[in-house]
């Protein structure tokens, strides 16, 4: 695969990460914010895979596997927190957690 | 990139096909991700996000990482998104569930993810039709197949991919060799996630929620300090 295509893979990773950041900043729904974080983690994994393909080494896939475990742990804890917040406030809006401060 | 030893027209055609697959999958991933973060309904967003993850898996395959592609489909699009689907279902329970279910049957809901997924399915069928069990291309192809030994079933994975695919065997050797400490740390992270999720969800399972007219957090649990409750009510009265 030519190096041009690998550069495009990195550009794809950057654009996906940017979409994740935009979603994280624009949405107030906690489920959408968690999904945006997933998009960003996935883009980071894509960057690692592209780098591994560029140098022909398997290290990029190792880092992708570690990112995968990180995403799994983060999603399990995050969704449990969202369920707790929903059972308390009947809302999944991020601003509903203001009650923690009062 | 390392080039395959045989530079016949067949190899270059396959390379062009893989590159075309890369760009098609990238386009699908971008469209699906953009639609994910702009949906108003969480269930629709989950559908588009699943399509996006499947497209990224095909990008991984085109980049010569079949093991990462399989993990992406199994863990990301399979396990993690199932968690999202369950939570969206739990949050949607209530009186508004029936019209929501009726809305699911409208074509406008499912035709977008179906079209994008059909593009990915076409790519997958092309891969299966073009490169399945093509051992001769393997023998002249990646040097990793030599490393994998004589009777390696891993040669099935990298058939149509003209770039040298990084086999799962290489990943495994590296993972349980120099990266063993990282694997242990990842296992501890998963254990912490398991314990935390169980602890956070335990009180939800233990106490069935009574029919409450007001949110539950305004009623303090009896074991906690009553000072917090009084403080909360005074804060509300202001």
**Chain A to chain B, count of Cβ pairs less than 8 Å apart?**
194
Phi/psi-derived region of residue A90, left when phi > 0, alpha when psi is between -120 and 50, beta in every other case: left
The class of domain A3-90 in CATH terms is: mainly alpha
| Tokens, residue B44 | 């629709």
Which residues in chain A are contacts of B18 at CB distance < 8 A?
1
Which residues in chain B are contacts of A71 at CB distance < 8 A?
76, 80
| Cross-chain CB nearest to B65 (options A53, A89, A99) | A53
ipTM of the complex: 0.91
Which residues in chain B are contacts of A84 at CB distance < 8 A?
200-201, 203-204
Position A49 pLDDT exceeds 90: yes
Higher pLDDT, B77 or B1: B77
CA-CA-CA-CA torsion sign (A79, A83, A89, A90): positive
Note the pLDDT of residue B205. 67
Q: CB distance A36–B37 less than 8 Å?
A: yes
List A93's β-bridge partners, or say none: A29
Domain boundaries, chain A: 3-90
For the segment B129-140, what is each residue's pLDDT rounded down to a tens digit? 876 434 334 433
For the segment B64-88, what is each residue's pLDDT rounded down to a tens digit? 888 999 999 999 988 999 999 888 8
* Cβ neighbours for B238, distance < 8 A, ≥ 6 positions apart: none
Nearest CA in chain B to A8: B23
Q: What is the mean pLDDT of chain B?
A: 72
Position B218 pLDDT exceeds 60: no
List A29's β-bridge partners, or say none: A93
Q: Alpha-carbon Rg of chain B, whole angstroms?
A: 25
Which of B26, B32, B190, B191 should one mutate to test binding to chain A, selecting the residue with the greatest count of A CBs within 10 A? Answer: B26
Which residues in chain B are contacts of A73 at CB distance < 8 A?
189-190, 192-193
Task: Give me the half-sphere count of Cα atoms (radius 13 Å) on the Cβ side of residue B42.
Answer: 23
CA-CA-CA-CA torsion sign (B138, B143, B147, B148): negative
Tell me, yes or no, if B76 comes closer than 8 A to chain A by beta carbon: yes
Tell me, yes or no, if B12 comes closer than 8 A to chain A by beta carbon: no
């Amino acid at each position: 695969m030519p190096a041009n295509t690998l550069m495009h893979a990195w550009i794809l990773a950057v654009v996906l990460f940017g979409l994740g950041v935009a979603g994280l900043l624009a949405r107030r729904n906690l489920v959408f914010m968690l999904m945006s974080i997933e998009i960003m983690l996935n883009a980071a994994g894509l960057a690692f895979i592209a780098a591994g393909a560029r140098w022909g080494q398997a290290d990029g896939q190792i880092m992708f596997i570690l990112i995968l475990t990180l995403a799994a742990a983060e999603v399990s804890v995050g969704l449990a927190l969202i369920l707790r917040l929903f059972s308390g406030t009947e809302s999944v809006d991020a601003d509903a957690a203001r009650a923690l401060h009062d | 990139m390392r080039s395959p030893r045989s530079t016949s027209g067949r190899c270059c055609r396959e390379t062009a096909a893989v590159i075309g697959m890369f760009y098609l999958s990238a386009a699908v991933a971008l469209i699906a991700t953009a639609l994910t973060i702009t949906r108003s309904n969480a269930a629709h967003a989950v559908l588009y996000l699943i399509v996006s993850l499947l497209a990224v898996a095909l990008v991984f395959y085109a980049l010569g990482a079949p093991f990462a592609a399989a993990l992406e489909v199994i863990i990301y699009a399979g396990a993690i998104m199932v968690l999202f689907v369950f939570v969206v279902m739990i949050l949607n329970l209530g009186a508004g569930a029936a019209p929501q279910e009726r809305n699911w049957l409208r074509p406008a809901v499912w035709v977008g993810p179906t079209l994008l997924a059909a593009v990915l399915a076409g790519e997958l069928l092309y891969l299966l039709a073009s490169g399945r069990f093509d051992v001769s291309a393997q023998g002249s192809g990646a040097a990793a197949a030599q490393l994998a030994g004589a009777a390696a079933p891993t040669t099935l994975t990298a058939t149509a991919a003209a770039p040298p695919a990084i086999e799962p065997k290489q990943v495994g050797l590296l993972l349980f060799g120099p990266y063993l400490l990282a694997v242990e740390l990842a296992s501890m992270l998963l254990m912490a996630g398991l314990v935390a999720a169980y602890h956070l969800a335990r009180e939800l399972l233990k106490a069935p929620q009574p029919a409450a007219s007001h949110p539950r957090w305004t009623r303090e649990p009896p074991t906690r300090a009553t000072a917090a409750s009084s403080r909360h009510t005074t804060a509300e009265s202001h």
